[in-house]
Amino acid sequence: MGKSVCVFVLGLALNGACLGATAFAAAGVPPGASAKCTKYVQGLPAEIETDFIMVPEDWDNPTASPLIPIFFYAPDLYQNQKWIAYFNGGPGGSTHGIYAYFKKYTPLSAGVPFLYIDQRGTGCSGSFPEVPVTLEGAKRMALYGTRSIVRDAEAVRRHLLKDKPWGIFGQSYGGYIVHRYIALYPKSVEHAVVQGASLMDNGIRWVETRLLAQQRAATEYLKQYPGDAEILEKARSQVPADYCQGNQTAVACGPGLLDGIAWGQIAFPKGWPNLHKTYAGLLKADGTLDLAYLGTLIPKQVDATDSMADFLVAVVPGRELPGGLLNTWSCQKAVPRMKRKGIDTNSWFYSECRGALSIQAKYDSFLKKIVKDDSIRLKDVHRSLKKNPGLQFHLFSGELDTFVARESYQQEVKKLGRLANFSFMNVMNIGHDWTNSKEVWAALKKY
């Protein structure tokens, strides 16, 4: 631990400085690290080594940009010369806890050389900036998207491996980071694996497939817990239109709040029993809605950092990903279009867009202005793979995935399917989770 830390931009040292880690904090903890970060590092197993590099917040204007730390860690950090960079889901999530989870619960992970990188804004890397919730603030927040994360990772690769390529893995939002990586730096990658992320040119159609997958999963859920349909119908009819929950950037009001309860669990069948228990508490013995209980499910107050994370989730998907991951704008387009086709999402047991459209956000007024500014384009991924036949790309969908529907992979599979260095598999027994997939682990172990 405590390796030397140099600040590099495209191979050139910034400010002429090469800083020692001991100048900041022990054990590879970045400067200004939070108490939570320090505690996490101190609690890591003895075999883990940690370090960080300093990078510009704005890679396109490095000399005038503030520097932020990018934290990374793994066993034998400077001894191993063959890594798979791990990109977790989000945006806004960190790697913390993943190593311990794999070691304890996932024996299939043994032998996979993951290098964990905290994406900028998360974990022990530089925090999201506190910016005004305006178009100007959104422009700075956009510096925390996939393009910058890839360039940060490239700096880490060069720091550790110099000119050697590595493997990369991404799940969910991390999968979009991998797509961007392939498009930007194909010669830096030998092996890429993605689960739970798909590219489509038609973002609104992507939203439709996601909603239909949620309806499909809800139908399966109700086969197990049929009584929950009546519970939710009664609860929804009793939520006052002026009953609101939220934070500094967005507030949701009315019955649409109830759709937020299922959001984090309907995609993961393992969590359905807990979701059922949650629904069971919505009504009191006399059949009336327990608003106090509802308030415990959806916190009323979120601190400023979380508000900035909410802003990031609105800005980055809106600029980069198909459908903007169901932001207000994409739902405003998709729901009426589906209704014209005879599909009324408002009548469903669960609809993520019903929840999204109940939100009033400060960024709604300018979200449409940034929707297509920096899309990850399928044609760029195709071009990179075609020009670099040694780069192996394995793509996986989950049959039960309600976040990224299996149907949403069709365009990507058709576009890339003729390339010898591309493979695709729809895994039947997984949803948006993947850690029990032998198929995904097998692809990782090919590197």
Q: What percent of the chain has pLDDT over 90?
A: 68
**What number is the average pLDDT over the span 125-154?**
93
CA distance 318 to 314: 6
pLDDT at 5 over 60: no
pLDDT of residue 178: 98
User: Is there a cis peptide before residue 91, judged by omega within 30 degrees of 0?
Assistant: yes
pLDDT of residue 270: 81
In a domain, 205, yes or no: no
| Domain identity same for 144 and 279 | no
| Domain identity same for 39 and 181 | yes
pLDDT of residue 13: 34
For residue 147, give Cα distances in angstroms to 60, 92, 108, 143, 375.
Answer: 11, 15, 31, 8, 10
In a domain, 305, yes or no: yes
| Domain identity same for 364 and 382 | no
pLDDT band at 160 (very low <50, low <70, confident <90, very high): very high
Answer whether 202's CB lies under 8 Å from 321's CB. Answer: no
| Domain identity same for 366 and 380 | no
* Alpha-helix residue ranges (DSSP H) falling in 225-281: 228-238, 259-263, 272-280
Amino acid at 290: D
Task: Please state at what angle helix 272-280 crosses helix 203-224, rounded to 10 degrees.
Answer: 70
| Domain identity same for 165 and 272 | no
| Domain identity same for 218 and 337 | yes
In a domain, 350, yes or no: yes
pLDDT at 7 over 60: no
CATH at 9 = 3.40.50.1820
pLDDT band at 373 (very low <50, low <70, confident <90, very high): confident
| Domain identity same for 273 and 314 | yes
Count of domains in the chain? Answer: 2
| Domain identity same for 34 and 147 | yes
Q: Which of residues 351, 370, 389 is at a domain's end? A: 370
Task: Please state at what angle helix 272-280 crosses helix 228-238, rounded to 10 degrees.
Answer: 50
In a domain, 42, yes or no: yes
In a domain, 69, yes or no: yes
| Domain with 134 in it | 4-199+376-444
pLDDT band at 400 (very low <50, low <70, confident <90, very high): confident
CA distance 139 to 182: 24
Over residues 174-222, the pLDDT tens digits come to 999 999 999 999 999 999 999 999 999 998 999 999 999 999 989 999 9
Over residues 323-336, the pLDDT tens digits come to 776 667 788 899 99
Q: Which of residues 313, 345, 370 is at a domain's end? A: 370
In a domain, 400, yes or no: yes
Q: How many other CB atoms sit within 10 Å of the CB of residue 200?
A: 20
Over residues 65-102, the pLDDT tens digits come to 999 999 999 999 999 889 999 999 989 889 999 999 99
pLDDT band at 4 (very low <50, low <70, confident <90, very high): very low
Q: Which of residues 321, 345, 370 is at a domain's end? A: 370
| Domain identity same for 244 and 160 | no
Over residues 250-277, the pLDDT tens digits come to 788 899 989 988 887 887 888 899 999 9
Over residues 98-117, the pLDDT tens digits come to 999 999 999 999 999 999 99
Over residues 20-70, the pLDDT tens digits come to 333 334 458 998 899 999 999 999 999 999 999 999 999 999 999 999 999
Strands 166-171 and 189-195: parallel
For residue 156, give Cα distances in angstroms to 57, 165, 275.
Answer: 15, 12, 40
The CB-side HSE value for 380 (13 A sphere, CA atoms) comes to: 16
DSSP state of 116: E
Mean pLDDT value across the chain: 88
pLDDT at 16 over 80: no
Over residues 313-369, the pLDDT tens digits come to 878 888 899 877 666 778 889 999 999 999 999 999 999 999 888 888 777 777 666
In a domain, 207, yes or no: no
**What number is the average pLDDT over the span 273-301?**
88
In a domain, 420, yes or no: yes
| Domain identity same for 250 and 348 | yes
| Domain identity same for 254 and 391 | no
| Domain identity same for 22 and 152 | yes
Bridge partners (DSSP) of residue 423 are 394
Longest dimension (CA), the chain: 71
pLDDT of residue 167: 98
